[in-house]
Structure 1
Amino acid sequence: MRPEERRAPEGFGGRIAEFVSDSEPWWPDRTRARDGAPNVIVMLVDDLGFSDLGPFGSEIPTPHVDRLARDGWTFTNYRTAPMCSPARAALMTGLNPHRAGFGFVAHTDPGYPGYTCELPEDAPTLAESLRAGGYATFMVGKWHLTLESRLHDAADRSSWPLQRGFDRYFGSMDGFTSLHHPHRLVRDNSVVDRPEVPDGYFLTDELIDESLTMIDELRVNDARKPFFLYVAHTSVHGPIQAKAVDIERHRGRYEDGWNTLREARFARQLELGVIPEGATLPEPSLADAEAIPEWSTLSADDRELFARHMEVYAAAVDEVDQSLGRLTAHLEQLGELDNTIIVLASDNGGTAEGGPSGTRSYFAQFGVNAELPEGWIRDVPRDPAEIGGPRLFSQYPTGWARVSNTPFRSFKSSTYEGGVHAPLVISWPAAPERTRGLRDQFVFVSDLAPTILDLTGVPPLAERHGRPAQEPDGRSVRTVLDDPAAPGRASQYFECVGRRALVDGAWKALSPVPPAREEGAAGGRWELYHLETDPTETRDLAAEQPERVAELAERWRDEAWRNAVLPLDDDGSLHRTRPDSEAALAEPVTLVPFRPPLERFRSAQLTVLKSFRVEIDVELGASAAGVLIAHGDQGGGYLVALDGGRTRLAYNAYGDMHRAVGSALGPGPHELILRVDELDGLRWRLRLEVDGVVDAEIDAVPMLMGMAPFTGISAGYDFGGPVDWELHERHRSYRFSGGAIERICIVPGARSQHDRTVLRRIGVAVAELAD
């Protein structure tokens, strides 16, 4: 093999390497997909650390991943974006994350090209190219490539999966959801209307059920057409949940603690050859010791609690492996496994969102855009036996996240290797056995789409909607599959909330904090590591080689300009800015009873960080009972119901239940008003008035904010994960009956002084110019 390096064109993400083969490749040359083209499955796992799978040193049994690795290639030097949406955008388009519009997760649009959180109109997706090349295209699971304000039922769907190349879709459009009680599922372009979730339901299982159905229905109608299946697991993103039977298999596995487990994984990694000889585990001062208590100093109760968190995490990884096994077994039964390319990867490194002690109340700290008052409870005490089940929204402690990222430093959203160095396995059993094995070449997430297109013989679309397609940043690594000595990627920039890095050959320059505004994009404090001899970033050489640091920092700035990375979020304000078009989502809403819940983000605009009221007009019969309105789930929410003839007000404060029972209501018309008023210290007071008189009250409870309530507002029943588990055990969703709900209107009040969101006119000038 001979590498030929060339300078990337203007606007292109850095230097690249093209590879020219001196011999005939083993892969077929095709001009049409139906000429024996392989099926393609991409399985992406959310927040999975580098060491969490068997081929990368894990103690968690993953026999199906192990088989995948034996039948293919295990990449030990694969890197991805530090966050999930940017990685998914790069995977789908072959562009660098910011050029794909995703410098951040799909929640904000501050008005800059690299942060639109929408895929560019002139960037064909992998699915669009494969469909044009003759493939059936299917997706299940987490999309997270549509701005959250465009997820509601009246939204522009141009960025939804079907409009971006998929024939069929089933899953959660949002960044995560409960696996036991999904807050919202979408089939194709419509919300799934499913008032009751059956006992024993688990989302990971349904995603694979749907995958097998899509494949089978294709084969019934066309025995030869190849398919592309994108399985985007919600696991193992928080809240971390698993089935009880799977949790039980891992009971007792983690009693020795995170330090012992990390060292054991590291030893296995050296034995497997997935990290180079001479690599060392970072010392505590470099390995986030300030956020991780020493296991030996913990109380017996804390050790039991923390071990329980990891048992659930291991079960969730186990379930991902089982899902792969179900898919491969079905393909084997169909006689199609040998000619199926399977790509398994993580979207970023393991996450430290659970904090030093983990949490059983994920939403008490996740996504909060306000300074929390002193005494705020981040982990509402609850029975550890419930961790992983439907009643808890939990996340494992930082110590286990460090284990997940063994042997690297730091976590998701960091530009240290712990944030970006992830597992990647590619399998194609039809490939010659001589080509299989470990690959240590540098591969980036934007290389995956070009590689898949290259292997299938499908050309990327040259245009989309009449516009010339952008030149991809990624390049096929097909030659790396064929030749373990072939060179990989030469360089790549990284950025996440102002944290910066550039890998250039064996060198990596890294800045763990944003620069001050006056220092410029290349300014601030930089570190320097020689990854060839120090892959775990333990020896900062910046002081010894200031010239190299300056050169790489300038290179990073050049890449930032080429890739729409700027402006940096240097003061935390960038992602508090949102388009003023979202203001309309906070106008009063009149709900229709018994319909699918109002979408999560749409619902949140009515209640989060503000006072509000709910106006309910009912006509009651003698036996009237049931839920009138419910907003949220076991992670936090509120509910008004008639139960036993009396009004019932329930408030779930991230797992801490508050209830108030009011008076009996006789037959006839009644007006109920729930007033939710802000108090000092980010607290609410709830008062339920009946016919003008206060009937029930809950005083001074923590506000629900950030991404809570997570399940949207349902009228006439309590959808999905219940707000009040006691009521759910007795009545399930408790559909209102014995009367009529005449009207339910939610009226938002003034925004809290703690709401730091800034609404600005975004996109107007561009639209006017286009006209």
Structure 2
Amino acid sequence: MTDSTIPPHARGYEDFGGTIGRTFADSIPAWPAERRAPEGSPNIVLVLLDDMGYSDISPFGAEIDTPHLARLAETGFRLTNYHTTPVCSPARAAALTGLNPHRAGFASVANSDPGYPGFRLELAEDVATLPEILRGHGYATYGIGKWHLTRDSLLNAAADKSTWPIQRGFDQYYGALEAFNSFFHPNQIVRDNTIIQREDTPEGYYLTDDYTDQALQYIKGLRASDSLKPFFLYFAHTAMHGPHGAKPEDIAKYRGTYGKGWDEVRRTRYEQQLAEGILPEGTQLPEAVGRLGRRIPEWESLDELTRDRYARYMEVYAAMVDNVDQNLGRITGLLEELGELDNTIIIFTSDNGGTAEGGAEGTRSYYSRFLHLPGVPADFDRDVDIDPNLIGGPRTMTHYPEGWANASNTPFRHYKGQTYAGGIRVPLIVSWPQGLAREADDDGIRTQYQYVTDLTPTLLELAGLPHPGTRRNLPAKEVDGASFASILPARDAPSTHPEQYTEFGGNRGFYREGWKIVADHEPGVPLDDGHWELYHVAEDPNELHDVAAEHPGKLRELAAGWEHAAWHNTVFPVDDRSSLSSALRRPAEAEFEKPVTLLPGTPKLERYRSSKLTTLRNFEVEVRLQFSPGDEGILVAHGDQGGGYALYIRNGHLYFVLNEYGRLHDVDAGPLEPGARRITLRTTLHPGFRAEHLVAVDGDTATRLRDVWALIGFAPFSGVDVGLNRGGPVHWGLHEEHGPFAYSGQLESVRYIPGDKAPYDPEVLATLERDTESAGD
């Protein structure tokens, strides 16, 4: 590819056109003749869900209503032995590049930065992506939804955007760069390279619907200008990732469905899977075992109130899956109306298995589940007591209990993050009526082992397009996946992917021709001390019978295979997050910890950038304003329904509000006198992850809030807002009454002054450990 064929964004213009385009028109190389895809090339739609289990759609056994997916399965193919990575970012990297996740730079999710080669947490310059390849072949390329392929420190408006979607091959992008989001008040939405600023979320807003509206707009816009150009639509859902939320009408559809409990749902799904041939005859249903080895309680052993609350969690989950299917139906409906459905390749799958991150009891305070730090007290609230009638709505941040995750992963054991089948075996549907017509006696079920790296080479082969082997005229890393196009028309064709390693956080696995080893790793335990389990998954797909003792030679063979693959794929050093050094960040991030003055009109700061000012440290917020009688509104807000704090004025009084993971503290700091005022919020951290908040006016203490939990672990999730509270509200009552509640008076500035970090901050401990070791050298 010559420089003249590289689009402006890829050549350094983060925003192109307007004045820039006119001023530098003479210096921009002339565009070559337009590249066109071969006539009749198929459209490609890749739909990727987040944290959805193997049995959560009707073609794979679910009772959830997914007629549009069922229609694709009826004419297409169900790959029942398809595998992915244990968590989301690695799966997305592998799907879009064909590379094993460590070679793609994504050994983990894009929310850390230990500095190892496999942990770049951004796609390197020598990694070619599917949208880049397809665009080079003349396709229009559209990205929708969750990205999570850019390191969290690069998500702010001032960051280098070379790994944002537009720079990685998409003509247009609309979605969220973060790992997850609120379905009712998203904390950040990006269009192309621009963070969208909405003062308030529209009435009735729902994220999946919004994503689909934009996808439809892209397709309609393309067809209005070009009747022939094929398109690639990458639709990466935020669903089913927590916090869970669904539209009231979708929840109502499932009201009462799950009162029968997870034991019965799991059993019914398993029987349906056997009846449809998803599972081979003789497959056993494993004992219901939780994430930490505890037995999941039998449904009937729970009291009535608990059963009611747990059932509500699953009603919300089912409603979310149903809504995804509805929106898929909107896309296929448009393609049918355009006469293009038959010549569109559609792939539908999940990035990993169902997750137990909601804990044994589920939660109505999702962000309080993310405190994976040493020293967090046992009495820390993992589930704030909120009216069960609010579960799934915009006022709560919920996630279902692991009993339902166990049902999601029917018939397999364990969950997201682990290398057992429950974490990495997910549904895959492939449909292309024009190019992959089935024989009349073919049920479309394919049982060959395939892996997430196979998606890119498969789509390229089906479309008849070569991989260029280069990116920007330089050699690109070789693809690890293998096309499975050959198994689709021929059910007896052999798997094209005979072996595969897996690793995440020290959890390991290796598959080779019907055999598999698994190591369920305990953080901090040396890998050499880990116990490999051996399963003959060709006969024991549920991994119920560890035959390591009976087949020591096979165990040694596969263990050596894993180690060879690990060295080849830059898996070492394995980071299981047990070392304090994993908490260290690169020195450039010190910029985020400097005092900063925010003026009225400043866009909402991005979550991670905001967190560096406040998380696990003392901090001070200084607000300067001119107050006149009648002025009111939000002065500063940081967070949303799931946790945060704000200062606001109402009826002449100053208030401090703390949303303690869903538990609201609304403190009256007294009346304000007219004139120039300096309001200060000082937050001090105490031992045991406790905090104290002091509010002062012109240096005099106005109020204190003592002995509350510190906000950490993705809370506050929404960033800092000045002069209003955009999106998700810290104070729901104020939001209902006033919306974003923009301050009506003269706000001069809001200054954040980060203070000392808490002594139990992992970065502090890691720095101390490093300095101690250096002193001893």
Q: Shorter-chain TM-score: which interval?
A: over 0.9
- 2:453 alignment counterpart: 446
Matching residue of 1:548: 554
Within the alignment, does 1:311 sit opposite 2:319 as a pair?
no
* Cα offset, 1:711, TM superposition: 0.4
How far apart are the structure 2 equivalents of 1:250 and 1:518? 46
Counterparts of 1:731-770 in structure 2, within 5 Å, are 731-737=738-744, 739-757=745-763
2:275 & 2:677 partners in 1: Cα distance? 72
- Could you tell me which residue of structure 2 aligns to residue 263 of structure 1? 267
AA at the equivalent of 1:423: P
How far apart in 2 are the matches of 1:162 and 1:129? 13
**Aligned-pair distance for 1:760?**
9.2
Task: Tell me how far apart the structure 2 counterparts of residues 249 and 517 of structure 1 sit (CA, whole Å).
Answer: 47
Q: Partner residue of 2:531?
A: 525
AA matched with 1:468: P
Between 1:589-598 and 1:701-710, the stretch displaced more is 589-598
Number of the residue aligned with 2:774: none
Q: Which residue of 1 aligns with 2:7?
A: none
Question: Displacement of 1:120 after TM fit?
Answer: 1.8
Residue 10 of structure 1 aligns with which residue?
Answer: none
CA deviation map 1:212-240 (0-9, x unaligned): 00111111111110000011100110001
Deviation at 1:758, TM superposition (A): 6.6
3-state SS, counterpart of residue 628 of structure 2? strand
> Where do residues 183-222 of structure 1 align in structure 2 (5 Å cutoff)?
183-222=187-226
Give the SS at the match of 1:660. strand
CA-to-aligned-CA distance 1:147-196 (integer Å, 9 cap, x gap): 00000010000000000000000010000000000000000001001111
CA gap of 1:424–1:597, structure 2 versus 1, over 3 A, is: same
User: Aligned-pair distance for 1:367?
Assistant: 5.0
Give the residue type in structure 1 aligned to 2:154. R
Of residues 413-422 and 104-113 in structure 1, the stretch that sits farther from structure 2 once superposed is 104-113
Q: 2:681 aligns with which of 674, 681, 686?
A: 674
Classify 1:470/1:313 alpha carbon distance in 2 versus 1 (closer, same or farther; 3 Å): same
Aligned to 2:583: 576
The CA distance in 2 between the partners of 1:123 and 1:289, in whole Å, is 39
Find the residue that maps to 2:104 and give its secondary structure. coil
1:237 has 2:271 as partner? no
In 1, distance between residues paired with 2:292 and 2:750? 50
Q: SS where residue 103 of structure 2 aligns? A: coil
Q: Distance in 2 between matches of 1:188 and 1:129?
A: 19
Are positions 1:722 and 2:729 aligned together? yes
1:424-573 mapped onto 2 (5 Å cutoff): 424-430=428-434, 431-434=436-439, 437-488=444-495, 489-513=497-521, 520=528, 524-570=530-576, 572-573=578-579
Instruction: Specify the alignment match of 1:703 in structure 2.
Output: 710
Number of the residue aligned with 1:173: 177
| Residues 36 and 139, structure 2, Cα contact 8 Å, conserved in 1 | no
2:514 partner amino acid: A
Following superposition, the deviation at residue 558 of structure 1 comes to 0.5
Q: Which amino acid aligns with 2:492?
A: A
What's the offset of the Cα at 1:356? 0.6
Shift of 1:282: 1.2
Q: What's the TM-score once normalised by structure 1's chain length?
A: 0.92
Deviation at 1:747, TM superposition (A): 0.7
Question: Is the contact made by 1:388 and 1:394 (CA closer than 8 Å) also made in structure 2?
Answer: yes
Change in Cα spacing, 1:640 to 1:368, as seen in structure 2 (3 Å) is: farther
Q: C-alpha deviations, 1:400-449, integer Å up to 9, x for none?
A: 00000000010000000000000100101213232761111111000000
Given the alignment of the two structures, is residue 656 of structure 1 paired with residue 660 of structure 2, yes or no?
no
Cα distance, 1:375 vs structure 2: 1.4
Matched, 1:37 2:41: yes
Do the aligned partners of 2:36 and 2:229 also contact (CA within 8 Å) in 1?
no
8 Å CA contact 1:514–1:568 kept in 2: the answer is no
Would the aligned equivalents of 1:95 and 1:474 in 2 still touch at CA under 8 Å?
yes
The residue identity in structure 1 corresponding to 2:520 is: P
Are the aligned partners of 1:34 and 1:226 in contact in 2 as well (CA < 8 Å)? no
Task: Report whether the alignment pairs 1:408 with 2:412.
Answer: yes
Matched residue SS, 2:726: coil
> What secondary structure sits across from 1:204 in the alignment?
helix
User: What per-residue deviation string (whole Å, max 9, x for no partner) do you get for residues 46-96 of structure 1?
Assistant: 000000010100000100000011121100000000000000000010000
Aligned counterpart, 1:359: 363
Q: Report what 1:9 is aligned to.
A: none
CA distance in 1, matches of 2:578, 2:765: 15
**Is the 2:625–2:677 contact (alpha carbons within 8 Å) kept by the matching residues of 1?**
yes
1:225 aligns with 2:229: yes
Q: TM-score normalized by structure 2?
A: 0.92
Q: What letter matches 1:697 in structure 2?
A: R
Q: Does the residue aligned with 1:555 lie in a helix, a strand or coil?
A: helix
What letter is aligned with 2:437?
P
C-alpha distance in structure 1 between counterparts of 2:42 and 2:162, whole Å: 29
The yes-or-no answer on 1:249 pairing with 2:253 is: yes
Q: What amino acid sits opposite 1:652 in the alignment?
A: N
Contact 1:195 1:596 (8 Å CA) reproduced: no
Contact 1:368-1:705 within 8 A present in 2 as well: no
1:79 aligned partner? 83
Asked whether the equivalents of residues 291 and 402 of structure 2 are also in contact (C-alpha less than 8 Å), the reply is no
Counterparts in 2 of 1:680-699, with a 5 A limit? 680-699=687-706
Q: 1:500 to 1:365 in 2, by over 3 A?
A: same
Residue 375 (structure 1) aligned with residue 379 (structure 2): yes
The corresponding residue for 2:279 is: 275
Cα distance in structure 2, aligned partners of 1:253 and 1:702: 37
Return the alpha-carbon distance in structure 2 between the equivalents of residues 540 and 352 of structure 1. 23
Distance 1:299 1:36 in 2: 60
CA distance in 2, matches of 1:740, 1:249: 48
Cα 1:465–1:691 change in 2 (3 A) is same
Contact 1:527/1:540 (CA < 8 Å) preserved in 2?
Answer: yes
Listed as ranges, the gaps of 5+ residues in structure 1 are 1-30, 762-771
Q: Secondary structure at the match of 1:624?
A: coil
Q: CA deviation at 1:514?
A: 5.3
- Which amino acid in 2 is paired with 1:318? D
Contact 1:580/1:759 (CA < 8 Å) preserved in 2? Answer: no
* Cα offsets for 1:259-292 (capped at 9, x unmatched): 1111111000000111111110112469876152
- Amino acid aligned to 1:496: F
Displacement after TM superposition at 1:541 (Å): 0.3
State the distance in 2 between where 1:628 and 1:372 align. 32
Are 1:350 and 2:385 matched, yes or no? no
Q: Is the 8 A contact 1:91 1:448 kept in 2?
A: yes
CA distance in 2, matches of 1:628, 1:34: 57
Does 2:388 correspond to 1:387? no
Given that residues 73 and 431 in structure 2 are in contact (C-alpha distance below 8 angstroms), is that contact kept between their aligned partners in structure 1? yes
Deviates more, 1:336-345 or 1:505-514: 505-514
Gaps of 5+ in 2: 1-34, 768-777
8 Å Cα contact 1:82/1:415 also seen in 2: yes
Query: Structure 1 CA distance, aligned partners of 2:203 and 2:523?
Result: 51
* 1:681 CA displacement: 1.8
**Cα offset for 1:578?**
2.4
Distance 1:564 1:375, change over 3 A: same
Structure 2 counterpart SS, 1:487: coil
Can you list the C-alpha shifts for 1:670-695, whole angstroms capped at 9, x where unaligned? 00000111122211111110011111
Distance 1:649 1:483 in 2: 66
Counterpart residue number, 1:420: 424
**2:612, 2:638 → 1: CA distance?**
12
Distance 1:407 1:570, change over 3 A: same
Q: Distance in 1 between matches of 2:757 and 2:93?
A: 33
RMSD, aligned CA:
1.6
